[in-house]
Structure 1
């Protein structure tokens, strides 16, 4: 098991659920509503799991590999993307299910999410596979799977300041490692 594969599995499921929405007749408002509610909860949980588990580890291994600027930029962008996705989800909730405005809002959420996944797959996941050991990726996968399982009913959506997030994670990494940044030493919650 590898955290990068679990994240890719989540991405495939997100794409599948958006595709399901596109194939349901707009008159089936109840079905559209429950499918969307499930997808929205899944998007929120996935983003928070990444923010709690994956991105702190990416920052740590990137810093240890002397790629601080690259992984900081990737993380700043990802946290900003998560905020955009949360905002798009909130916009869907402002519209009556099945209306043209609702469909436009769902399409905007799909677009924001698709852009984020593509960047993450090209950058963050690729870097993490390069810099983190398979053992580390496995341990994080176990943590990630348990986190999503514990929070299956959903999480509270909260936008984060990308710069504040990165600075807080870097501060924690320095504290947890006693100032040294070696791959594999970040404490897991």
Structure 2
């Protein structure tokens, strides 16, 4: 088991859930609300799990390998992205399910999330696979899976100050 693969698997599930929403008739508010609730919860649990398990380890490995500036910048961007995704998810909640405004807010959340995933897959996950041992990636995968499973019903969305977050880790 590898934490980078678990994160990629989560990304696939997020893309799948956004695609399901795109294929549901806008008049079917019950189905839209149900799938959105699952996706919104999943997005927050995923972000929180990354912030508790993956990003602290990425910082440790990057700093150890002499890549302090780059890894801190990557992590700063990721925490900032998570805040933007949280804000986009909250914006969806202010719209009537299935309305034009709701669909636009979901599309904005999809874009914010998609941009984050692409950057994370291109940078943080690649760097971590290159520099972290298989044993570490396995140990973190166990923690990652455990945390996500324990919080399957959700966690409270809380924006973090990216600069302070990186400095404290």
Query: TM-score, with normalisation over the residues of structure 1?
Result: 0.89
Equivalence for 2:98: 98
Tell me the equivalent position of 1:183.
Answer: none
Structure 1 residue 63 corresponds to structure 2 residue 31: no
In the TM superposition, 1:32-181 aligns within 5 A as 32-169=32-169
Segments of 5+ residues of structure 1 without an aligned counterpart are 170-189
Deviations 1:72-98 (A, max 9, x none): 000000000000000000000000000
Name the SS of the counterpart of 1:96 in structure 2.
coil
For the residues of structure 1 that align with 2:68 and 2:3, how far apart are their CA atoms?
21
State the partner residue of 1:6: 6
1:186 matched to which residue of 2?
none
Distance in 2 (CA, whole Å) between partners of 1:27 and 1:18 is: 17
Please give the alpha-carbon distance, in whole angstroms, between the structure 2 residues aligned to 1:79 and 1:68: 16
Rg larger in structure: 1
Taking only aligned residues, the RMSD between alpha carbons, in angstroms, comes to: 0.3
Please list every run of 5 or more consecutive structure 2 residues that lacks an aligned counterpart in the other structure.
Answer: none
Q: CA deviation at 1:27?
A: 1.0
Partner-residue secondary structure (3-state), 2:153: coil
Q: Distance in 2 between matches of 1:70 and 1:64?
A: 12
Structure 1 residue ranges (4+ consecutive) displaced by more than 4 angstroms after TM superposition: none
Flag the structure with higher helix content.
Answer: 2
Q: Tell me the matched-pair count.
A: 169
1:23: which partner in 2? Answer: 23
TM-score, scaled to structure 2: 1.00
